[in-house]
Structure 1
């Protein structure tokens, strides 16, 4: 996608955290989409560096609930 926006470090941190969690727990992109109420394609776009799609706080809250984590677990300890 031409002219794609560079993603912020905090957004990339969250995306990487969710991807790692998804891989460790053997949860598909489609399942993540179902948890947060979006399509699998949206999750594919979030995980792609070519799309500006990203998780929002509501998504993080739903994922934290599903994985029995705190929303804080999805964020870095210090600012980036």
Structure 2
């Protein structure tokens, strides 16, 4: 089960990925990861999540600030 903050980041990355026309496979290639890893993260059924290094790389690929990938305010636990 992913935490509320992890789910927020996953949803935000998915939204930006889709807006920018990236498939999971294309994003995985750009991040030098497997497509299966991206799929597991986005499914939310596995204990897989993005780390800080991933967020920085995602911001470069998606051409945005890493801050965009995080909520404006803390989320409740």
- Deviation digits for residues 27-56 of structure 1, max 9, x if unmatched? 010111122221000011001121111111
Larger radius of gyration: 1
TM-score, structure 2 as length reference: 0.90
TM-score, structure 1 as length reference: 0.87
Gaps of 5+ in 2: none
Instruction: Give distance in 2, aligned partners of 1:55 and 1:16.
Output: 11
Instruction: Using CA pairs under 8 Å that are at least 6 residues apart, name the structure with larger relative contact order, 1 or 2.
Output: 2
Number of residue pairs the alignment of both structures matches: 75
RMSD between superposed Cα atoms in Å: 0.9
Gaps of 5+ in 1: 1-5
